[in-house]
Amino acid sequence: MNKIILIILIFTNILFASTHTDFNKDIQTQKQNIFKTQAQEIVQSLIFQKNTSYLFLDDKSIKRYYKTFNYELIWINENGVKNIALELLSSIQNDPVLKHHSNEAFKLNEVVEQLRLLDKSNEKYIQSLSKIDFMLTGIYDRYMKYLSNGFINWELFKEQRKIFDEEEEIKSNWEKYTSRKNYKRLLFKAIKSNDLSIAFNAVNYTYPKAEELSKSIIKFEQISQNGGYTKVPKINFLKEGSVSPIVKILRKRLLESEDLLSNSCAIDDEKHNENSLITEGSLTIENNCFNTFDENVQKAVISFQKNHGLKADGIVGNITRRYLNIPIEEKIEKMRLNIERMRWMPRTLGEKYLLVNIPEYKLRVYDKNEVALDMKIVVGDKEHPTAIFSNKMSFIVINPYWRIPQSIVKKEIVPKILEDINYLNDKGIYIHENWELDSTKINVENIDWKMYAKTIEEQEPTLPLRFIQTPSDINPLGRMKFMFPNRYAIYIHDTPAKQFFQYDKRAYSHGCIRVEDSKKLLEIISQKDTNINYEEVSTILADTQSKDLNLEKKIPVHMVYLTSWIDEDGKVQFRDDIYNYDSIQKKILFD
């Protein structure tokens, strides 16, 4: 039991012990009514005084709360502090993000101090109780705001991100969403049902398996309290068939992360002329198989590598060893941070929606909370970080034209033209006076490319030159573009550069999302959309004519940045902080 709650229970039993007597029912009811009436009068008197101070709430807010409850005490009755008040404090103290900062952040010790100062013989006893009730209401309101908005100082994060962007000469974007609910009405429903989770769940995260990630922190904390993960000594490499005392240490480490489910191995049993299975601790003098890197260890290593986004080859080299030796405290911080991020997302993700997790390099389609599609993607590189936001897909372009951004023209296209004047023709790129496809085309031979290169070197291109690439198999957008119009000009598209999907880490785009199999994504989207005939699309793809397909119902698309989460198999996943967001946000949250 939490220390704060235990202290409150002790004070409650001492202060209110005399109320638990053997009065008959009528007398007890009468006593309740007297307490209720007196408390109502005092509450009204206090909240209309100008000099009354409230924890985390102003005068207007406290008045609205208690008006909703007909000026009755919310958290305390004639028998003491209600269980629902203890539920509030317990939820705050066990919050996965704030666990070690909750007392300070919510001034819980002040509640304990006010309880300690209570004197039942004092004529202002109920007034003192009322002030404690006000404090608990303020704590509830602050916690609801935290669940709705997250705890991080968002303005400070934007400042820090801006500094980082300027240093790295990049442009990053992250949109934060909040839950807009009436906390007073939610509290009224919760008190009526004697269940505070009604209020919490109405504003808290809805990300898949967020609650499981929260619970997993408890397991990780237990390992930390027992000394943390076993360190794997320096090695060249270990693979199936390797024999080394380090393998025994590796087994222990893999058991701790539950990648190795049982530490057993086979030895040659000469008596029975067959292999016998022994477990760690067996009295085996010869043939100590625990030093052998067998198939079970290999499978455990592959499991660990998959859970950390590494090349899953079952070989322990320097990279895998480095990840094995990441302190568990760092992982706990990462898990806490990502639970916080889940509170920055829209609360209604959608019945059917696309989820793009940038650090995982994966796109998933969810349909009624089930994963209908899991696909590799390529995301923006460090110089062109993919924006984090939510929007709705409204149409799909088959055989898209590529309107090449001026930044790419400046940095990539013009240098290639200077090397090879036929570059544009070979790539099917035409120069227009504006972005309209039927606008006047400009003859490339009439352009002084050296002068143009000099102009764009001195300033951003302002000349009316727009580079547009026609649909083809070499168009960087591939044959499909999935559109959810947004201020960042980010979309999901096909790509002819399939080689990148062979890599484990796939941050190579200019910000947009490239998908491994655009046809499969289109098929999943078309299954419940009468506007899209998947068979007809194949005919369109055989040509190069561009065509827009409007969706019957818009599909939510969520671009997220999670470096820890629970996967569909219940495994805790960890990924690298490719855009340096973890390090910035951890300092703001935990320092």
Phi and psi angles of residue 73, each rounded to the nearest 5 degrees, phi first:
-65, 140
DSSP string, 428-450: TEEEESSS-TTSPB--GGGS-HH
- What are the pLDDT tens digits along the chain (591 aa)? 566 666 666 556 655 655 444 446 666 677 788 889 999 999 999 998 876 678 899 989 999 999 999 999 999 998 888 999 999 999 999 999 988 788 889 999 898 888 888 888 888 889 999 999 999 999 999 999 999 999 999 999 999 999 999 999 999 999 999 998 999 999 999 999 999 999 999 999 999 999 999 999 999 999 999 999 999 999 999 999 999 999 999 999 999 999 999 888 866 554 444 455 555 554 444 457 889 999 999 999 999 999 999 999 999 999 999 999 999 999 999 999 999 999 999 999 999 999 999 999 999 999 998 999 999 999 999 999 999 999 999 999 999 999 998 888 888 998 999 999 899 999 999 999 999 999 999 998 888 888 877 776 666 555 568 999 999 999 999 999 999 999 999 999 999 999 999 999 999 999 999 999 999 999 999 998 999 998 889 889 988 899 999 999 999 999 999 999 999 999 999 999 999 999 999 999 887
Question: Which parts of 292-412 are beta strand (E)?
Answer: 352-357, 362-367, 370-380, 390-398, 402-403
In the block, which residue shows the tokens 């807009």?
Answer: 180
CB 93 within 8 A of CB 87: no
pLDDT, residue 224, reads: 96
Answer whether 365's CB lies under 8 Å from 371's CB.
Answer: yes
Looking at residue 7, its pLDDT comes to 63
Tens of pLDDT, residue by residue over 315-332, are 999 999 999 999 999 999
Integer Cα distance of 226 and 75 in angstroms: 38
CA nearest to 211, candidates 147, 151, 142, 256: 147
User: What is the value of pTM for the model shown?
Assistant: 0.90
> How open is the CA angle 539-545-547, to the nearest 5 degrees?
80
Q: Which ranges of 119-174 does DSSP label H, i.e. alpha helix?
A: 125-149, 154-168
Strand partners, 366: 353, 371
3-state secondary structure of 531: coil
Q: What is the pLDDT of residue 281?
A: 52
Task: Name the segment(s) of the chain with CATH classification 2.40.440.10.
Answer: 350-400+471-560
The C-alpha atoms of residue 469 and residue 429 are separated, in whole angstroms, by 4
As given in the structure block, the two tokens for residue 176 are 């934060």
Which positions ≥6 away from 387 have C-beta within 8 Å?
A: 172, 173, 174, 175, 486, 488, 490, 511, 559
- Say what the pLDDT of residue 20 is: 47
Element (H, E) at 223: helix 210-225
What is the structure's pLDDT at 431? 94
Q: What's 350-400+471-560's CATH class?
A: mainly beta
Ramachandran angles phi, psi of 350, nearest 5°: 120, 155
Percent of the chain having pLDDT more than 90? 72
